[in-house]
């Protein structure tokens, strides 16, 4: 029994309602294909993916380099559209959505975390988080306060005024995670979030994502080719040559 299971009868769990198997899934992918064509050459990055993901899940997308993980995350993040098949996200078909709607979904409903952190080097930790909220209509002071609060939540309350160059890799990734959560997204999509970190720091970042999944009730989807990282998720989806070859729930042995 893990402390992370969100029982539908546990009123203290923020993920309870979202976890309901009776509700609509967060994502429904049907026969999704993504083919890149350049100079007459076609690369079939995804070759027919059927996948249903539920709100509140923590999913590891695994598979060797070139198997299609990043391509799939781009589609889940509404950054790219499939060349065939359909993707339903929170009740909407992404391939039918207008650019304006897709932009709004990306900025308000999805948080992104990258391997290389992608922080703005001239801004402090707090400013890096705050800037993600600028397009929103909330008052400036509230945004600044929320940035500080989020940094506190990721364990960086004492580093708010530091520039990225003064932070360790693990700390920079924590700032990026705080930034991803700024607009209270439904889902955080992380592409190899531990790829630039040593294994101990990487595991700490994964533990943080798992914790935020519990406290903020956010869905976490991360790509990794690190077996150890994959084991920390509760659902592991494996790709090979653009096909989904394995999808299993994990009984977690917590450290």
For residue 56, give both structure tokens: 């509140």
Q: How far is the CB of 255 from ligand ADP (least distance, A)?
A: 27
Using CA atoms of 4, 57, 176, 108 in order, give the dihedral in degrees to the nearest 10: -130
Beta-sheet pairing, 92-93 with 110-113: unpaired
Contact 45, 17 (CB under 8 A): no
**Interface mask toward ligand ADP for 35-64; x: CB under 6 A:** -x-x----x-x-----------------x-
Q: Which of ligand ADP, Mg ion, none does residue 170 bind (CB under 5 to 8 Å by kind)?
A: none
What whole-number distance in Å separates Cα of residue 43 and Cα of residue 79? Answer: 19
**Interface mask toward ligand ADP for 163-202; x: CB under 6 A:** ----------------------------------------
**Interface mask toward ligand ADP for 65-84; x: CB under 6 A:** xxxxxxx-------------
Neighbours of 175 (CB within 10 A): 27
Q: How far is the CB of 119 from ligand ADP (least distance, A)?
A: 22
Q: How far is the CB of 223 from Mg ion (least distance, A)?
A: 6
CB nearer to ligand ADP: give 146 or 238.
Answer: 238
- Choosing from 70, 83, 86, 107, the residue that interacts with Mg ion (CB under 5 A) is 70
For residue 69, give both structure tokens: 């993980």
Short-list 55, 53, 60, CA closest to 20:
55
Residues at the interface with Mg ion (CB under 5 A): 69-70
């Amino acid at each position: 029994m893990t402390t992370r299971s969100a029982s539908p009868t546990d009123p203290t769990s923020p993920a309870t309602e979202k976890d309901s198997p009776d509700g609509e899934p967060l994502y429904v992918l049907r026969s999704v294909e993504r083919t890149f064509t350049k100079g007459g050459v076609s690369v079939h990055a995804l070759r027919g993916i059927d996948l249903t993901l539920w709100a509140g899940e923590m999913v590891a997308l695994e598979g060797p380099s070139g198997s299609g993980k990043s391509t799939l995350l781009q589609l889940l993040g509404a950054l790219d559209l499939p060349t065939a098949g359909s993707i339903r996200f929170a009740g909407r078909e992404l391939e039918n959505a207008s650019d304006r709607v897709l932009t709004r979904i990306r900025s308000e409903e999805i948080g992104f975390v990258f391997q290389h952190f992608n922080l703005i080097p001239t801004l402090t930790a707090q400013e890096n988080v705050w800037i993600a909220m600028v397009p929103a209509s909330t008052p400036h002071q509230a945004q600044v306060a929320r940035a500080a609060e989020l940094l506190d939540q990721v364990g960086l309350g004492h580093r708010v005024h530091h520039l990225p160059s003064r932070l360790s890799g693990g700390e920079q990734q924590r700032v990026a995670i705080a930034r991803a959560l700024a607009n209270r997204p439904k889902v955080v999509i992380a592409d190899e979030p531990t790829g630039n970190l040593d294994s101990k720091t990487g595991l700490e970042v994964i533990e943080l994502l798992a914790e935020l999944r519990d406290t903020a009730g956010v869905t976490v989807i991360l790509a990794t080719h690190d077996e150890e990282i994959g084991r920390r998720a509760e659902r592991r989806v494996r790709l090979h040559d653009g096909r989904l070859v394995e999808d299993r729930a994990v009984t977690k042995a917590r450290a």
